[in-house]
A and B are shown apart, each in its own frame.
Chain A
Amino acid sequence: MISLLIAIPLLLAFISIIWRSLSKPLFFLASFTNIVILITSWFPNGVEIHAMGNWKPPFGINLVFDNASFYAALVVNAFFLLTSLLPGLVGNYGIPLMLLMAAANGFVLTGDLFNSFVFMEIITITAVTIASKKENFYNAFKYLILGGIAGSIYLLATIFAYASTGSLNMAHVSMAGISSSSLVAITTLYAIGLGVEAKLFPLNGWVSGVYGGNDLAPVILGTSVSFAALYMVGRLFGTVFHGNGAEVLYTLALITIVIGEVAALRQRNLLKTFAYSSVAQAGVVVAMLSKGTGTAMGLAYFHLTNDAVAKFVIFLVAGFLVYNYKNLNGVFKKHKVLGASFSIASFSLVGFPLFAGFQSKLRIIMEAFSMKDYLFPSVMLLATLIEVGYVVRWNVKLWFEEETQEKAETPVIASTLALILALVLITVFIKPDIFLGGAMKMGNALADTKDYIQGVLSVVKGGM
């Protein structure tokens, strides 16, 4: 069944190039079917694989379906479903979105290094297309160039892995006993290659321009795609390379956090502020992932889920505001529902009690302390202080400053969605298990290399 997660959006995308007007309903249909498929196979609690063309791994390409890829695919597809409910936002971009959905699913599910490169390139190209909405061409071009370099480096890393193990299958590479000098080479190249999509420090120059350039790009790239990219960081550095090369990631992640937050504080543009905040949160997640234990990784993805939900709300509201008002002072007096959801989401981002972000941040800091790491929690507390600064500043500006005469109609579906997700964030504070359970299962599945290898390589014939 899991190959359908990729096949259906692809098929529908190919069909809708012939009948262009159908692309919006077909996009909804694709994301809805995917969610249904995922719900029917809820948490496999083991490793299932689908061998493409019945060529058994490590010879053929295989899709891997375990707790980790299930949870990641669920989150990714859920955000696509939410986006497909907003026809005004999707516009002409139904086909790129479907392709992006297929590629993100493939990126999450694949168990083959080169295959993941192919899907990463599809993600880059469709993401650039989406980023060029509203004539944001220059920033899209910068993203394309950076993505192209990252793709090349990722490919080099893949070929180094192939040359030293003779195989491209992740499970085989992870058990093949690579020499330590090869491991340094491979992990360094992978860290650079994933750095662009995972928004790590030297390679995240594109983020503010792309997220700040239109209303669709941040909503989808900041949630689904960044979840898929950070999933791949966990899969590669946790499962495949058993935590080798984590020090590089850890250092880069700490720098990313500080730089992202400082840039966010200095930024005067609403979308760009939260774009930089997205960078900083990616840093937090990567720092946690580099610890390599199941609990730490689970908490990282718990935090990432909370962040993605909050960011979806924030970018949805911010995109609406920025493109309908010239002056944002006091606009929430006109749109109370949007305002309330925005405030909830942004407070959850900071980690105020009563909101989901508090649960994940507290747990992350406790976990870091229990591992005798004091640097990361202190960086994170500093980051939180800066976050309080800009979140409060924006909330004051949007709620209380003197309003202007401009008027725009409140989008009904968008505000309903934003409110529902904001309520979800509060519910998660009361019952963190909603996200935490899945995320912990995901983290443990990622850390359990042995199970993964066994599950992939012991299969004689690929099932559905």
Chain B
Amino acid sequence: MVYGISIILIGIGIYGLMTQKNLFKHIVSLSIIDTAVNIFIVATGYVSNGKAPIYTRALPGFSPNSFVDPLPQALVLTAIVIGVGTLALGASLLVRVKEKHSSINVENMKGVGE
């Protein structure tokens, strides 16, 4: 079911990218897709009744399937940071797009021809 949520979110993100005329919305949609993919990845590592993969005094030992899968979580950490890099660069590009074309709405932008 978490899978379903994340897939629907991906779909909404794609829909937003295709319909919206405002470039800022594109960044927002991309961010939605990023979050959705991250949820999807963590979901692939979930084990029912598994514990968080950190050894503390309360969780002394190891046996398979007593923990959730740590690898997807490690991958998501990387993916989140990569998403931030992409979004921040996109936002700074938009600032300059606005300065150069005087709008960030695809329909009102000046000087964008074929």
Contacts and interface: CB of A to CB of B under 8 A. Distances in A.
A129 B30 CA distance: 18
B41 to A, nearest CB: 5
A388 interface: no
A355 to B, nearest CB: 31
A140 interface: yes
A140 B89 CA distance: 10
B72 A145 contact: no
B97 interface: yes
A149 B32 CA distance: 11
A156 B40 contact: yes
A163 B44 contact: yes
A148 B79 CA distance: 11
A132 interface: yes
Chain A at the B interface: SS class:
helix
A223 interface: no
Interface of B: 10, 14, 17, 23, 26-27, 30, 33-34, 37, 40-41, 44, 71-72, 75, 78-79, 82-83, 85-86, 89-90, 93-94, 96-97, 100-101, 109, 112
Given A135-B100, A137-B96, A140-B93, A155 B17 contact: no
A125 B96 contact: no
A124 B86 contact: yes
Contacts of B85: 121, 125
Given A121-B86, A132-B96, A145-B30, 18 more contacts: A114-B78, A118-B78, A128-B93, A137-B93, A144-B89, A144-B90, A145-B27, A145-B90, A147-B86, A148-B33, A151-B82, A155-B75, A155-B79, A156-B37, A156-B40, A159-B44, A159-B75, A162-B71
Contacts of B33: 148-149, 152
Interface of A: 114, 118, 121, 124-125, 128-129, 132, 135, 137-138, 140-141, 144-145, 147-149, 151-152, 155-156, 159, 162-163, 168
Nearest to B83: A148
Given A138-B109, A145-B30, A152-B33, A132 B44 contact: no
Contacts of A125: 85-86, 89
A148 B86 contact: yes
A163 B112 CA distance: 44
B17 A138 contact: no
A145 B25 CA distance: 11
Contact of B89 (A128, A135, A138, A168): A128
Contacts of A124: 86
Q: What 5 A-B pairs are tightest by C-beta distance, nearest first?
A: A137-B96, A141-B93, A137-B97, A163-B44, A121-B82
A162 B76 CA distance: 13
A128 B40 CA distance: 27
B74 to A, nearest CB: 9
A149 B30 CA distance: 7
A397 to B, nearest CB: 19
